[in-house]
Amino acid sequence: MAAAAAGGGPEKPLAPALLSFFIYNPRLGSKEGEEEKKILLYYPNEVEKNEKIRSVGLCEAIVQFTRTFSPLKPAKSLHTQKNRQFFNEPEENFWMVMVVRNPVIGKQKDGKPTVEYQEEELLDKVYSSVLQQCYNMYKLFNGTFRKAIEDGGVKILKERLEKFFHRYLQTLHLQSCDLLDVFCGISFFPLDKMTYLRIQSFVNKMEESLSIVKYTAFLYNDQLIWSGLEQDDMRILYKYLTTSLFPRHIEPELAGRDSPIHAEMPGNLQHYGRFLTGPLNVNDPEAKCRFPKIFVNTEDTYEELHLIVYKAMSAAVCFMIDASIQPTLEFCRKLDCIVGPQLTVLASDICEQYNINKRMAGFGGRQSKGPGRKPGHSGLHCPIRSPRSEKEPQFKFIYFNHMNLAEKSTIHMRRTSNISLASVHPDLMKILGDINSDFTRVDDEEEIIVKAMSDYWIVGKKSDQRELYVILNQKNANLIEVNEEVKKLCATQFNNIFFLD
């Protein structure tokens, strides 16, 4: 496996870009002269009609041609010099196509500027996963394509597709897509047993007090602690929360105790609870109780739910209630009154206990005073302590568990606005993606070690539905020393997880 040298030449390549995105159903325009009826969505919409028909027809022909060789697994991608096309059939006869321009490097040839397309830089598995996520996110808020047609015909489906993807496609940052998009995992917040039981007890009490609540999810510091949803539904809801909803509400988090965000409660107590979806101010009699709808269990019971997201400090709770029940302002006030004070105290205690555990484990330094156990203490944030180092750590890693979708990365910086920036060179991230592609071809345990031209070592381990990828910054190390370092990492970071040696 070859690796390009990090740093490369002086030319800076132009990042991959979305050229077009369209959804079609070949059954809708099967007669000659009705080809346009196949097209349910086409981006950019300004493209001339005949060009749209030609593009869709070409993709349809490619898919049909490849079915000749593999009836059950038609083409997933098409490689050309200038772009890469990705195909996905999320529902029978509904095809989604994404066309991405290959990265470009500007060069001088015979004194004239020219461009060179980097044909092998894009990883099929990464961008095929991005295309699948497009469908999953649409389905979360709109339900399936077929259900839309059942509700109101092709016209309704086209309207829903246009409304959703007009905004969603603008949030795609294709230049930062990598292995995490393949996993689409969930980051879990580490907790001791007693604190976890307190949270479980809190969830049970809330569901009992607010009887119309059907499902609940509890997050802290953008990491999941508890969820009543199925895994596949939770993983896409988690992506929406952490890359879209939470980043949009960062500013109010900076408000202090005297902020007008929340009125004083009886007894001079105050809590920091507020709705991230729904009414901005429950004390406003004109407040609108509008909550986004989500669709879960679409393969089985097909449930339509209202999504209520309520946050206090760094803790957030998602309450999901049946869409046939319209939450009233009175219900919102009741929720605010019941959940707000308890969630504020619980959020403070989670932070306090977490920092104590970190300090006892030998990771944290001196603990500063954060909010106390009683609501109303000054300071809205309780910092999460982590070790600091002036120099780059010797190793960084990505871990993923296919069974519970647990994901952990020290390679990526904090996700915001749909971007998850890696702190290592793109060439190294590409090697990680190549190793992952190799892993998909084998069912057994596997280990791959690569020496990059930039003097980094990359190690991939697959064992019992778990995958670990390590990047080592040890220029003069040999294979034996690298293997020993990875063993040490597994012993310290994953001591309760079995990896084959």
Report the distance separating Cα 213 and Cα 339, nearest Å: 13
The pLDDT confidence band at residue 367, using thresholds 50, 70 and 90, is very low
Residue 51 has pLDDT above 90, yes or no: yes
Residues present in the chain in total: 501
Summarised one tens digit per residue, pLDDT across range 57-69 is 999 999 989 888 8
Instruction: Centre a 10 Å sphere on the Cβ of residue 60 and count the other Cβ atoms it contains.
Output: 17
Residue 93 has pLDDT above 80, yes or no: yes
- Which H or E run includes 67? helix 49-67
pLDDT for the residue numbered 32 = 80
**442 or 407: whose pLDDT is higher?**
407
What residue ranges in 44-161 does DSSP mark as E strands? 77-79, 83-91, 94-101, 104-109, 112-117
Residue 293 has pLDDT above 90, yes or no: yes
**Placement of tokens 């920091």 in the chain:** 272
pLDDT for the residue numbered 1 = 38
Instruction: Tell me the CA distances in angstroms from 295 to 139, 160, 235, one per residue in order.
Output: 7, 14, 13
Instruction: Tell me the CA distances in angstroms from 500 to 425, 445, 460, 479, 485, one per residue in order.
Output: 29, 8, 12, 17, 15
Summarised one tens digit per residue, pLDDT across range 418-448 is 455 677 888 899 999 999 999 988 878 889 9
pLDDT for the residue numbered 421 = 67
**4 or 201: whose pLDDT is higher?**
201
Any alpha helices (H) in 169-290, and if so which ranges? 179-183, 193-209, 231-240, 246-248
3-state secondary structure 328-351: CHHHHHHHHHHHHHHHHHHHHHHH
The dihedral through the CA atoms of 405, 411, 416, 418 has a sign that is negative
Question: What is the pairing mode between strands 446-451 and 457-463?
Answer: antiparallel
Amino acid at 419: I
pLDDT for the residue numbered 43 = 94
The pLDDT confidence band at residue 11, using thresholds 50, 70 and 90, is low
Going by C-alpha positions, the residue among 28, 130, 35, 124 that lies closest to residue 75 is: 124
105-119, 181-195, 454-468: range with lowest mean pLDDT: 105-119
Percent of the chain with pLDDT over 70: 84
Residue 259 has pLDDT above 80, yes or no: no
Give the global pTM. Answer: 0.85
Residue 141 has pLDDT above 60, yes or no: yes
Report the distance separating Cα 91 and Cα 313, nearest Å: 40
> Could you tell me the two tokens for 154?
């092709």
Residue 4 has pLDDT above 70, yes or no: no
- DSSP tag of 27: G
Q: Region 230-242: what's the mean pLDDT?
A: 95
**Placement of tokens 């009705």 in the chain:** 34
pLDDT for the residue numbered 306 = 96
